[in-house]
Structure 1
Amino acid sequence: MDKKIVGGHDAERGHDDDALSFGKGDILQLEHTDPVLNAKMHLINNAIDEIGFTGYQGKLFVLNGFGYAVDSLILLLQSVSNAQAALEFSPSYLNGLTIAAYVGMLIGALFWGITADIIGRKFAFNCSLLLCSIFTIAAGASPNWEVLGLFVCLSAFGAGGNLVLDTAVFLEYLPSKDQWLLTLMAAWWGLGQLIAGFLAWGFLPNYSCSDAATCTYKNNKGWRYVWYTAGALVFLMSIARVTVIRLKETPKFLVGEGKDAECVETLQSIAQKYKRPCSLTLEQMQACGTISSGRSSEGKSKWAPGNISMHLKGLFATKRIGISTALIWISWTLIGLAYPLYNVFLPSYLASRGAEFGQTSAYYTWRNYTLVNFSGIWGPVLAGYMCATRLGRKYTMVVGALVTMAFFFAYTQVRTEVQNIVFTCVVNFTLNIYYGTLYAYTPEVLPSAHRGTGNGIAIGWNRVMGILSAVIATVAGTGTAVPIYICAALYILMAGVAALFPFEPYGKRSS
């Protein structure tokens, strides 16, 4: 690899070649948006590769992974509790909780995403889960439908930032050879679904009413127990985030803020704690020059409109980066409609199909729901393996989307109870191949200085379409095959968009 010369200085200062490069180029190294920043990111990547995978990344995998799980958990909690809460409160609009959850996640994704780029990853990482746990517990005590919707929205606001932060934080500490773990981490999303399924299976059949005329607080506590239990679990994990990992601000955020000394200190402290080599020095970083991003000149306040717009402009800094950003946002928009049309309204599908096959009890519905969600865990596991092969991220998504499309069409022909269970399990498995890879691909190809903003807006589009899905489900009816056909068509489009992505992270390092 060529020697790095930036602003007349040897970026490695004293080295005749780039001795610490491990044979991999940086994804955005040829974009030249800021040569000094590119050179510093290159040094940081070298240092992270030199340190390797440690217990610090292992803790992040678990605690960040639970953030993934919480996002899907909150989304599905409102799904599994919707019907029973509606029997008790007799609302005028049954899909109101779904809209409340997606509105909260939309605002959360945008707020926490922009916050992560402006004041850092650490604050949002430590606060978002705690807020989510408080309002999740409160939701279980809701006295009416409107208050329940408010608490669902607020809990989703906390959870909505996790998908933005968890991927960014984990990625910015990962050695390049282990970046495939970002895809594997999406298995935690399936675990969140499984927890929701277990809670529904455990509480709803035994502590629920069946008739709106006789449904009261006393004979319908099952859905409340679901929220209480989930909230307590999220609270424990939010405390673990602060006490177990004691997150340091990510080196890539620090260098983007011009804090080279803190960046080097963070990496050196991790290397020292885990007895790993780290030859990065402050002199090497300073030899690269001074970044020209203009963060400090856009306004006195970090929240000035100029500062925020700077992050938006950075997502379109070059033609390739702009095309990449636009295609990523389109992909998130498409999956944002397809995913809730299937997963959020899956209990309705299972109940209607179960009735066709003579299985009308709540026990069978929630048993099947749990089995389906268990299957979803393994899609990202296979996707993680596929991403580490020459298929790369792009074609793993193409394969996952096309296979999912095929099984969606096949699902409309289900005629027996066994077929119903098998096909729903397979669909949940294959769609998570695509979804898990998209979650990982997005932060990998976004510029580090604008990663939170770009990721937050992408997930924001996803949430907007989730709101729309509730309207479509109301009009089309979740007991029919119409939403299934819509999902299948959307996955064809997703495969085409994935094939057009201009960047392939396989064999390269994120910025």
Structure 2
Amino acid sequence: MSVNEKASAELSTKKHRVDDEKKHREDDETFVDTESLVSDITLTAKREGIKPAFLAKVDLLNKAIAEIGMGRYQYELFFSAGFGWFADNIWLQGIAIIMPAVANEWRGYPEVRLATLALYVGLIIGATFWGCSCDIIGRRIAWNCTLVIGGVFGIAAGATNNFTAFAAMIACCGFGVGGNMPVDGTMFLEFLPGKQQYLLTLLSVWWAIGQVVASLIAWAFLARWGCETPKAGTFCTKESNMGWRYTYYTLGAMMIFLWALRFFVMPVYESPKFLASIGKDAAAVDVIHKIAKRNGKESSLTVQDLERAAAPYLSAEEKGKVETKFSTIELLKNSFEDVSFEHVRALFSTPRLALSTSLITLCYASLGLAYPLYNGFLGTYLAQKYQDIGNMNLSDTYASYTYQAACGIPGSILAAFMVDWSRSGRKLAMASFTLLAGIFLFALTQAKTQVQVNALTSIAAFFENAFYGVLYGYAPELFPTPSRGTGDAICSAASRVTGLFAPIIAVYSKAGLTPNGPVYASAGIFVATAFIMLALPVETRGRTAL
């Protein structure tokens, strides 16, 4: 071999070696990128306490929902989910408004305000049952049951002739109503594109509207067919005190009408994220395509896309599993096998998630006591306050109640603006609104005139609805899909459990003898809770719910 040939051969060998090294570097870079992607999903899943395979599916589902965008389906869902929030506050306010009238009729029961206790017992059981079951058998069953249960037993409560039967019917009504907040918020969130998640906060406007409607209906009936407070030793007859019964008949009929709209006119699909969480990928993809069709769009998502996304995170045993479909009865039967504390444990599976779950539950619990301690007896409070300042007019009392209820609507709208379009984020907005509500309640205790009472109750209502709007939007965003219903149920149940103590405090403590006592307590709790909110470790603004 000549020198030139030998040199040429060496150059060729060196070129091949350089090309091989370049190819290996490119392969290594590709490998590192893939490994980095897998690692990111694994770390995020570990931090959030969910399975990496499910997180990979949720990422695709979120992209598919974002690709479809806001449309007819989500706007219909805003109204039908709003019915549940509307119903929740209608019954909470409904019992508060009619309590003076009930007490006038059944004065043989000096602790008649404990009817609120019966309502809260039903709310606790309902929130726990419906909230936890929706993580096991799906969201739609609870969605389609809660309104009609509340409506039927609300009408029955209006037809009762003694306090015991009234309390029993109110408790049953609460069982249905209790499922609205944890289930409806969960369902709505899981169909929203990430950029529109602020609408979950705006959903609270329905809560404020419910209070206004309940106030207007009660005002109309109680002012016309209500009985003024009788003298000591006497009581109102049923015939002279039909206003509160007409109120309950109307509210119950309204709930059944809204249920019919929800069930027949604006039916919902099962949450695709829930379906993916139990391995029903084909059903999840089918729902995505149905949403797209309802919105006049198309989606390119396929079952194979979900399977490919999850494949790197599945064990050999999991890859061999075949999707199994169950009927509703079979799901109910099989659900008993899942009634472990798996979903509860998942909420405490990492230090950050455990701290978040604990603090948000504490916020719900503290506000669950403070809110009904003031608002739950607002009708009685206003009557006593006006008596102290020399105004005994029943119509003025209910007018004042209506004014403050109406001020909650702009509070909910401001809350939606603050959490998304301002830089404050969820935590700061929530804490600020809660602190201001407490400050204005402290001011209310010093009110000396009817104008001052009306102004301060209205301002307090504005900030109360604002912080509740943010709170009820923040919590579902905080929890991952597989345990979102359970997390919401825990928070809601904690709120209802502490709410049980409100009527007990009002009846048995010395604070119950003065109108300002419970208001002082509520204000103090609001202020303390505002600082707890600032300690929450997660800011959900700008983050698409998992």
Q: TM-score, normalised by structure 1?
A: 0.92
The answer for the alignment partner of 2:526 in structure 1 is 491
1:417 matched to 2:476? The reply is no
Q: CA deviation at 1:83?
A: 2.1
The answer for the alignment partner of 2:93 in structure 1 is 76
CA deviations 1:355-394 (Å, max 9, x no partner) are 2332211100001001111111221110000001221111
The answer for the alignment partner of 1:353 in structure 2 is 385
Q: CA deviation at 1:10?
A: 8.9
Taking the aligned partners of 1:447 and 1:478, their CA distance within structure 2 comes to 45
The answer for the alignment partner of 1:21 in structure 2 is none
Taking the aligned partners of 1:50 and 1:101, their CA distance within structure 2 comes to 43
The answer for the alignment partner of 2:7 in structure 1 is none
Taking the aligned partners of 1:158 and 1:267, their CA distance within structure 2 comes to 29
The answer for the alignment partner of 2:491 in structure 1 is 458
Q: CA deviation at 1:279?
A: 2.3
Q: State the identity %.
A: 36
Task: Judge which range, 221-230 or 271-280, deviates more.
Answer: 271-280
Q: How does 1:290-305 map to 2 (within 5 A)?
A: 301-304=333-336
The answer for the alignment partner of 2:360 in structure 1 is 328
Q: How does 1:254-403 map to 2 (within 5 A)?
A: 254-289=275-310, 301-304=333-336, 306-388=338-420, 389-403=422-436
The answer for the alignment partner of 2:186 in structure 1 is 168
Query: Are residues 484 and 268 of structure 1, via their aligned partners in 2, closer, same or farther at CA, if it must alter by over 3 Å?
Result: same
Q: CA deviation at 1:171?
A: 0.3
Q: Select the residue among 450, 455, 469 that pairs with 1:436.
A: 469
Secondary structure of the 1:288 match is: helix
CA deviations 1:380-425 (Å, max 9, x no partner) are 1100000012211111111111211221222222122111100000
The answer for the alignment partner of 2:512 in structure 1 is 477
Q: CA deviation at 1:273?
A: 2.7
Q: Which amino acid aligns with 2:539?
A: E
Taking the aligned partners of 1:479 and 1:103, their CA distance within structure 2 comes to 26
Secondary structure of the 2:334 match is: coil
Taking the aligned partners of 1:459 and 1:151, their CA distance within structure 2 comes to 21
1:177 matched to 2:206? The reply is no
CA deviations 1:416-451 (Å, max 9, x no partner) are 211110000000101221111111111111011111
Taking the aligned partners of 1:119 and 1:3, their CA distance within structure 2 comes to 41
Q: How does 1:29-108 map to 2 (within 5 A)?
A: 31=48, 33-89=50-106, 90-108=108-126
The question of whether the paired residues in 2 share the 8 Å contact of 1:379 and 1:432 is answered with yes
Taking the aligned partners of 2:189 and 2:378, their CA distance within structure 1 comes to 32
Query: Are residues 117 and 413 of structure 1, via their aligned partners in 2, closer, same or farther at CA, if it must alter by over 3 Å?
Result: same
Taking the aligned partners of 2:113 and 2:251, their CA distance within structure 1 comes to 21
Q: CA deviation at 1:92?
A: 4.0
Q: CA deviation at 1:181?
A: 0.6
Q: CA deviation at 1:304?
A: 3.1
Taking the aligned partners of 2:273 and 2:120, their CA distance within structure 1 comes to 30
Query: Are residues 361 and 464 of structure 1, via their aligned partners in 2, closer, same or farther at CA, if it must alter by over 3 Å?
Result: same
The answer for the alignment partner of 1:404 in structure 2 is 437
Q: CA deviation at 1:509?
A: 0.4
Taking the aligned partners of 1:312 and 1:305, their CA distance within structure 2 comes to 15
The question of whether the paired residues in 1 share the 8 Å contact of 2:347 and 2:353 is answered with yes
The question of whether the paired residues in 1 share the 8 Å contact of 2:50 and 2:480 is answered with no
Q: CA deviation at 1:29?
A: 8.2
The question of whether the paired residues in 2 share the 8 Å contact of 1:129 and 1:158 is answered with yes
The question of whether the paired residues in 2 share the 8 Å contact of 1:315 and 1:454 is answered with yes
Q: CA deviation at 1:500?
A: 1.3
The question of whether the paired residues in 1 share the 8 Å contact of 2:288 and 2:299 is answered with yes
Q: Which segments of 5 or more consecutive residues in structure 2 lack a partner in the other structure?
A: 1-28, 325-330
Query: Are residues 29 and 429 of structure 1, via their aligned partners in 2, closer, same or farther at CA, if it must alter by over 3 Å?
Result: farther
Secondary structure of the 2:390 match is: coil
The answer for the alignment partner of 2:18 in structure 1 is none
Taking the aligned partners of 2:213 and 2:341, their CA distance within structure 1 comes to 39
Query: Are residues 381 and 3 of structure 1, via their aligned partners in 2, closer, same or farther at CA, if it must alter by over 3 Å?
Result: farther
Q: CA deviation at 1:289?
A: 2.9
Q: CA deviation at 1:32?
A: 6.2
The answer for the alignment partner of 2:535 in structure 1 is 500
CA deviations 1:105-128 (Å, max 9, x no partner) are 000000000111110000000011
CA deviations 1:450-482 (Å, max 9, x no partner) are 111110111101011111011111211163322
Secondary structure of the 1:289 match is: helix
Secondary structure of the 2:225 match is: coil
1:225 matched to 2:246? The reply is yes
Q: What is the root-mean-square deviation of aligned Cα atoms in Å?
A: 2.7
Taking the aligned partners of 1:46 and 1:30, their CA distance within structure 2 comes to 21
Query: Are residues 151 and 437 of structure 1, via their aligned partners in 2, closer, same or farther at CA, if it must alter by over 3 Å?
Result: same
Query: Are residues 287 and 10 of structure 1, via their aligned partners in 2, closer, same or farther at CA, if it must alter by over 3 Å?
Result: farther
Taking the aligned partners of 2:101 and 2:33, their CA distance within structure 1 comes to 63
The question of whether the paired residues in 2 share the 8 Å contact of 1:63 and 1:241 is answered with yes
The question of whether the paired residues in 2 share the 8 Å contact of 1:7 and 1:288 is answered with no
The question of whether the paired residues in 1 share the 8 Å contact of 2:152 and 2:256 is answered with yes
CA deviations 1:172-206 (Å, max 9, x no partner) are 00011110010011011111111111111101121
Q: Which amino acid aligns with 1:46?
A: K
Query: Are residues 383 and 4 of structure 1, via their aligned partners in 2, closer, same or farther at CA, if it must alter by over 3 Å?
Result: farther
Q: Which amino acid aligns with 1:230?
A: L
Taking the aligned partners of 2:458 and 2:284, their CA distance within structure 1 comes to 45
Q: Which amino acid aligns with 1:239?
A: A
Task: Judge which range, 150-159 or 496-505, deviates more.
Answer: 496-505
The answer for the alignment partner of 1:139 in structure 2 is 157
Secondary structure of the 2:448 match is: coil
The answer for the alignment partner of 1:247 in structure 2 is 268
Task: Judge which range, 203-212 or 317-326, deviates more.
Answer: 203-212
Secondary structure of the 1:213 match is: coil
Q: Select the residue among 187, 204, 213 that pairs with 2:234.
A: 213
The question of whether the paired residues in 2 share the 8 Å contact of 1:114 and 1:308 is answered with no
Secondary structure of the 2:151 match is: helix
Q: TM-score, normalised by structure 2?
A: 0.86
The answer for the alignment partner of 1:237 in structure 2 is 258
Secondary structure of the 1:204 match is: helix
CA deviations 1:134-155 (Å, max 9, x no partner) are 1111111002110010111111
Q: Which amino acid aligns with 2:425?
A: G
Larger Rg: 2
Q: Which amino acid aligns with 2:275?
A: L
Q: CA deviation at 1:301?
A: 5.0
